[in-house]
């Protein structure tokens, strides 16, 4: 098993063990003594014994495979060092007073990291509630309750939330394999546990409450692989501006942008839950059932109203209402009374006994268009929920079709709900939650069926690109404009013919080289809105390029005498017939690194904010999906009688740009605006970027 001596140690040393009423050291020892199926070794130089066990002076003598640290922060690093020296490879540091506690704490946490690195320790915490693992009864926490056994493993960046969840879960028949309070994540972080639980046959679902992800790229790599076999569902809080602010003040961490998390978690194959309810609704059904083969839902109900509500919920979800085959309709017609509805949602009507429910279920579950089913029932005098639950479980087990139920009512539903839960079938009062849970299964099927491709490695001129950036840096220039179009050329992104000229004659010569008419634009890192000052001319006949040059330079000097003027760009005219202006951009997220952005130009980005984002580098399918994402996508596909643009060319540009910003961390921001997409090909007309010379 993964992280064996963390979750299934034979000997656990508790450093700071004590019997003092109300102390963390006492709580940890008591919890271990209560349920742990191994040896507990108290360590405390100030005590002879703790709860009847001999107390050691030092962790060096404990011969432990896991050490739990509850000593004061000043002593904690030394304890971990001693443990490392003694060959212990797993440690849980419950002690607080590290990164969350001022400059001194931050320094202490760095020391802890260094010690853990030196001894290659799997260190959980500091500032952790501890870890739980039910197979061996390990409760190395100071929480009030042990988890019930189960096949869900759970990590949380809030220790208190774990205490709440364990208490709630015990009341809802939800069990856990491992539970980890991540604490400050000085060493072990979410990616480590996702990896470990992905390898653990006892863990069928990974759930998490996270406020930040430490290393986005490594998390994506790990989770992408793990989620092909094991579903991962996460509440990542700080989704909203207010929430992000609250999370930052809670953990002290600077979280990346919500857009980055949204894209990154999705690219990682993680199912993101928006609420605690959704986290456990998804977790519960994923722990008990396999994803459906198709998206069609069959609804079987004894009451029309709830059937309609369930149908609405299907409409809200990624599932669809199954269209039954004619055989199914015929069989239902045979099995059900005349007043019943044999179309989906199937209404077996109010006088249905359990056998009629069962007959209808068996018929719809064998329909090839049915991927999953919702069974709804209102209380009636002619059936008991106990018998109905038994029949549903049987039908589920015989068919293997995923299911959720809505046996509506109060106390009378508790026993039947437990029967259903034991078979992995969740029961709700609200039809929309039943459908929502099934939609969680569908989401996981979609993830499991993804075929991740590595990003295409285009053959590019990397060194010339580097030299261009280095030259700009050498000039002290951090903001680049059209003078950096060469970067795009170097990465194989098509641009119109152009030249930057610094004199009247040059302008004329360049214009004649380029075409009969040209576009001309002032080149200056200091003048942002060039067209506003008349710094752009289009359709200049080549013969008039000299006058145009003089005019542009004069305007720039008049407008901003102190602006650095790099020259004037002479560019081929761009064919805009049937073209759509798009924007392709990139910036950097502190957790996830380079983020790629795509949208249509003008009002679509500026007013409608119709854009989409991915963590770079992107593969071809990921880049292609960006085009589908935007609301204005139909405009790329020839809406309103226009020809479609060359999507493949846009997708390739996205991938090449992804490669560029991945290759050069020094590029902090980059915008190609516009990238003109035409029925054949796409061309980058203008570019702006910001670089950090120190990262070159």
Residue 144 or 201: which CB sits closer to a copy of itself? 144
Q: Please list the alpha-helical segments (H only) found in 19-89.
A: 24-35, 73-85
Are the C-beta atoms of residues 493 and 676 closer than 8 Å to each other? no
Q: Rounded to the nearest whole angstrom, what is the least distance from the CB of residue 67 to a copy of itself in the complex?
A: 23
Q: Rounded to the nearest whole angstrom, what is the least distance from the CB of residue 351 to a copy of itself in the complex?
A: 10
Residue 218 or 320: which CB sits closer to a copy of itself? 320
Q: Rounded to the nearest whole angstrom, what is the least distance from the CB of residue 239 to a copy of itself in the complex?
A: 5
Residue 609 or 680: which CB sits closer to a copy of itself? 609
Residue 311 or 571: which CB sits closer to a copy of itself? 311
Residue 321 or 666: which CB sits closer to a copy of itself? 321
Residue 33 or 276: which CB sits closer to a copy of itself? 276
Residue 107 or 603: which CB sits closer to a copy of itself? 603
Q: Rounded to the nearest whole angstrom, what is the least distance from the CB of residue 379 to a copy of itself in the complex?
A: 5
Are the C-beta atoms of residues 676 and 682 closer than 8 Å to each other? yes
How many CA atoms within 13 Å lie on the side-chain side of 508?
7
Q: Rounded to the nearest whole angstrom, what is the least distance from the CB of residue 380 to a copy of itself in the complex?
A: 7
Residue 410 or 561: which CB sits closer to a copy of itself? 410
**CA–CA gap between residue 528 and residue 690 (Å, rounded):** 13
Is residue 570 left, alpha or beta, with left meaning phi > 0 and alpha meaning psi from -120 to 50? beta
- Identify any residues that bridge with 391 across adjacent strands, giving them in sequence order: none
Q: Rounded to the nearest whole angstrom, what is the least distance from the CB of residue 232 to a copy of itself in the complex?
A: 18
Q: Rounded to the nearest whole angstrom, what is the least distance from the CB of residue 61 to a copy of itself in the complex?
A: 31
DSSP letters for 346-413: EE--TT--HHHHHHHHHHHHT-TT--EEEEEE---TT--HHHHHHHHHHHHHHH---EEEEE--SGGG
Sign of CA dihedral 301, 305, 311, 313: negative
Sign of CA dihedral 299, 301, 304, 307: negative
Give 149's DSSP letter. Answer: E
Residue 46 or 381: which CB sits closer to a copy of itself? 381
**CA–CA gap between residue 654 and residue 611 (Å, rounded):** 14
**CA–CA gap between residue 348 and residue 360 (Å, rounded):** 8
Residue 339 or 422: which CB sits closer to a copy of itself? 339
228: exposed, middle or buried (Cβ count in 10 Å: 0-12, 13-18, 19+): middle
**CA–CA gap between residue 694 and residue 691 (Å, rounded):** 9
Residue 405 or 655: which CB sits closer to a copy of itself? 405
Q: Rounded to the nearest whole angstrom, what is the least distance from the CB of residue 653 to a copy of itself in the complex?
A: 23
- Identify any residues that bridge with 583 across adjacent strands, giving them in sequence order: 599
3-state secondary structure of 513: helix
Q: Rounded to the nearest whole angstrom, what is the least distance from the CB of residue 79 to a copy of itself in the complex?
A: 23
| Edge-first strand listing for the sheet containing 130-133 | 138-141, 130-133, 176-181, 149-156, 205-210, 232-236, 271-272
Residue with tokens 């067209």: 531
Give CA 160 to chain center in angstroms.
23
Q: Rounded to the nearest whole angstrom, what is the least distance from the CB of residue 378 to a copy of itself in the complex?
A: 4
Q: Rounded to the nearest whole angstrom, what is the least distance from the CB of residue 115 to a copy of itself in the complex?
A: 25
Are the C-beta atoms of residues 685 and 496 closer than 8 Å to each other? yes
């Amino acid at each position: 098993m993964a992280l064996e001596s963390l979750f299934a140690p034979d000997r656990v040393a508790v450093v700071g063990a004590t019997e003092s009423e109300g102390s963390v050291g006492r709580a940890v020892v008591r919890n271990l003594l209560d349920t742990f199926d191994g040896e507990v070794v108290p360590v405390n130089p100030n005590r002879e014994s703790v709860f009847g066990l001999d107390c050691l002076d030092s962790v060096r003598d404990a011969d432990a495979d896991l050490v739990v640290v509850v000593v004061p922060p000043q002593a904690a690093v030394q304890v971990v060092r001693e443990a490392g020296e003694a060959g212990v490879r797993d440690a849980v540091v419950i002690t607080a007073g590290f990164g969350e506690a001022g400059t001194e704490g931050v320094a202490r946490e760095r020391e802890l990291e260094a010690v853990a690195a030196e001894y290659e320790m799997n260190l959980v915490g500091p500032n952790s509630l501890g870890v739980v693992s039910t197979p061996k009864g390990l409760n190395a926490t100071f929480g009030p309750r042990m988890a019930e056994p189960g096949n869900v493993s759970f990590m949380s960046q809030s220790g208190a939330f774990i205490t709440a969840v364990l208490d709630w879960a015990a009341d809802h028949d939800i069990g856990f394999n491992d539970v980890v309070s991540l604490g400050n994540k000085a060493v072990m972080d979410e990616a480590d546990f996702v990896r470990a639980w992905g390898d653990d046959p006892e863990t069928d679902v990974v759930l998490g409450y996270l406020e930040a992800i430490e290393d986005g790229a490594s998390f994506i790599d790990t989770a992408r692989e793990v989620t092909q076999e094991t579903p991962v569902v996460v509440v990542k809080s700080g989704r909203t501006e207010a929430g992000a602010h609250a999370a930052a003040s809670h953990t002290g961490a600077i979280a990346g942008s919500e857009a980055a998390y949204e894209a990154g978690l999705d690219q990682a194959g993680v199912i993101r839950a928006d609420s605690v309810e959704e986290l456990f609704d998804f977790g519960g059904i994923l722990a008990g059932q396999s994803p459906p083969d198709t998206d069609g839902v069959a609804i079987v109900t004894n009451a029309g109203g709830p059937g309609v509500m369930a149908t609405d919920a299907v409409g809200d979800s990624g599932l669809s209402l199954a269209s039954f085959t004619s055989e199914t309709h015929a069989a239902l017609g045979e099995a059900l009374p005349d007043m019943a509805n044999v179309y989906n949602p199937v209404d077996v009507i109010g006088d249905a006994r359990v056998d009629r429910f069962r007959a209808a279920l068996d018929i719809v579950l064998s329909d090839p268009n049915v991927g999953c089913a919702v069974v709804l029932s209102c209380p009636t005098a002619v059936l008991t929920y106990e018998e109905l639950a038994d029949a549903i479980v049987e039908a589920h087990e015989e068919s293997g079709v995923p299911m959720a139920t809505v046996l509506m009512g109060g106390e009378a539903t508790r026993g039947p709900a437990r029967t259903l839960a034991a078979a992995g079938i969740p029961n709700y009062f609200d039809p929309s939650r039943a459908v929502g849970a099934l939609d969680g299964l569908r989401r996981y099927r979609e993830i499991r069926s993804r075929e991740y491709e590595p990003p295409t490695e285009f053959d590019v001129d990397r060194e010339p690109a580097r030299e261009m950036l280095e030259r700009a840096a050498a000039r002290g220039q951090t903001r680049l404009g059209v003078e950096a179009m060469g970067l795009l050329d170097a990465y194989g992104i098509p641009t119109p013919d152009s030249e930057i000229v610094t004199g009247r004659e040059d302008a004329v010569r360049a214009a004649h080289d380029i075409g009969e008419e040209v576009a001309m634009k002032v080149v200056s890192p200091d003048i942002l809105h060039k067209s506003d000052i008349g710094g752009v001319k289009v359709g200049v006949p080549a013969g008039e390029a000299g006058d145009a040059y003089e005019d542009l330079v004069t305007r720039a000097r008049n407008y901003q005498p102190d602006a650095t003027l790099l020259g004037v760009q002479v560019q081929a005219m761009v064919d805009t017939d049937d073209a759509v202006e798009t924007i392709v951009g990139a910036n950097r997220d502190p957790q996830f690194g380079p983020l790629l952005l795509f949208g249509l130009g003008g009002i679509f980005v500026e007013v409608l904010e119709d854009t989409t984002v991915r963590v770079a580098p992107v593969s071809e399918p990921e880049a292609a999906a960006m085009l589908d994402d935007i609301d204005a996508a139909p405009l790329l596909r020839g809406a309103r009688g226009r020809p479609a643009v060359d999507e493949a060319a846009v997708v390739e540009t996205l991938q090449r740009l992804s490669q560029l910003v991945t290759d050069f961390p020094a590029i902090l921001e980059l915008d190609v605006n516009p990238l003109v997409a035409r029925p054949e090909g796409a061309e980058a007309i203008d570019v702006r970027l910001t670089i950090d010379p120190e990262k070159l």
